A and B are shown apart, each in its own frame.
Chain A
Amino acid sequence: MSPFAALLRKDLRVELRTLRSLPAMALFAVSAFVIFRFGLDRTTLDGELAAGVLVPTLLFAALLGINRLFVAEREEGGFDLVRLAPLDRTVLFAAKASALVIYLVVLELIAVPIFAIFFLDSASGLVPFALVLLLADIGLAATGTLISTIATMSSARDLLAPLILLPLLIPLVIATAGAGEHLLASGGPDYGRFGTWLGLLGLYDLIFLLVGYATFDFLLED
């Protein structure tokens, strides 16, 4: 088994056995939907309001879970063991980011259908929106892995990651909400600027995967 597959499998197996992150993230998202139902006093949503409820809720739920992926690693000495192993440390970046993408996809597989049942009249926009979410997940995983590694090594770990990530993720929110606004419109999906938003998401993913690949090594040095 390649080191990448071994590390990824370990993270997924830990989550399957302990269920420390995903159930909490999903529960948070569903509770947030109920909060919005009363906060906005709306029983159906479409267009920019639908995107405006769904996208930030997924973002906040993701922030809730990101740190868990790294706190255990540090507390149990996982980082030290990876440092000792004769392997390229960027493999750890790739494995952590992939684990995070899988977490986020599972979160969305639970939360987005519930959102559709709660608020949407028509679910036809969700299929193209899934592609948008997947690209956003990759970007979120790239910056999330980088910043979360920094945060877990600091003394303000639970505070620091959301603090730095929120402004850093604004371009992702702009693209995801921008695409969602048209895809979830009440008259059925509208592909007006779909390509623009996919392009922006792709660019974000590319830039931060490269930055992560280039700098992750320096976070693990001792």
Chain B
Amino acid sequence: MDRKEADKERRRIKSTEPMRDLMLKYYTEAKAAEGTEKLIAWITSGAPVEPLICFDVIPVYPENHGAMCGAAKMNVELCEVAEAQGFSRDLCSYARGDIGSALTKGGPIGGLPRPDFLVCCNNICNTVFKWYEELSRFFGVPLFIYDTPFVRGELPQHIADYSLRQLEEYIGFLEMTTGKHYDEARFLDVAAKSFYSTELWREILECNEHKPAPMTCFDAFILMAPIVTLRGTQEVVDFYQGLLEEMKSRVEQGIGILPSEKHRLLWDNIPIWYEMRNLGRIFMELETCLVADTYTSAWTYEEVDMEKPMASMANKYAEVYLNINLERMADKQAALAERFQVDGMVLHSNRSCKPYSLGQYDLAREFTRRTGLPTLIIEADHTDSRWFNRAETENRIRDFVETLLA
């Protein structure tokens, strides 16, 4: 092995393999469960998954699958299937791709296993319940909607009350659909594991405060798959403990993810899944590390009250990043900039995600006003590459990085 190869191997994140194994095992088991007595629920990425784990229901994430189809550059053909059925090209490409995949069993893993029921939480957008209504009609299965009203400023009591009532109702819904009784001890165990893994995840992300950063947020986009899908299980705790150890040891040894780190940037919005590899290459060439983002940190919770796990959980789910007002989002962006010592922010204006993208123009200005740092907005779509202009984006990124002070 020559020196360059050896250095590349040294910088490679080793936990990627156990994560692949974990996700492969998860998808294999989920697919094998189709048609058996094991229950499968499709669930949105921001919804409380802990109750499903507690009732031994297999959670399946169309959004995670959408990201996978996007990264495999297979989502456009699935979107086209949905479009041929009359679904507008202006609808979220996760939703279109998922509908296309449900119809054709297309995509890199031959589609998702058929759901027994659906769980949808609108804390990430209001697109999801329209999408899940369609799934409910298509599969003829029940849909549980966990409704999280938009929060401006502090979480008001009536939203907290409504959320808690629904979390309790959700438990009742699961008792009915699974025919099992709610086991409080089990729930506490699952909740504790969930909170603990989100805590681990937060510590992992915070390792990037170090210069050079041990990973980029593009790595985090991949490594977050278990926290999104299976938090609340022991396997996920084990995996993130391993990942945290690796990150800490990288920090101690000064191993950065890039061969050279000159600039540090913050990323806003969902990844451009089909373009990750290419963007990763460009930023590496530009010696620029995307050290933090507003997306992966959505699965970190602070100040969890284990005395009242149910209420605490309800509150956390109500106040996720996409369900709060622009001022609170601006606070968070400025705090990330400060904590991770960035030189600017790249915002992906994502055609498929209105709650994430509308307001970004104002947020970008506010970011500069508060931090004095520059921003770059790139127009794209998280999985529909037809809306993406690669050459133009690449030029704009290069121009932007050039303006950053060395």
Question: Is the A/B pair a real complex?
Answer: no
Q: Which residues of B contact A (CB under 8 A)?
A: none
Q: Which residues of A contact B (CB under 8 A)?
A: none
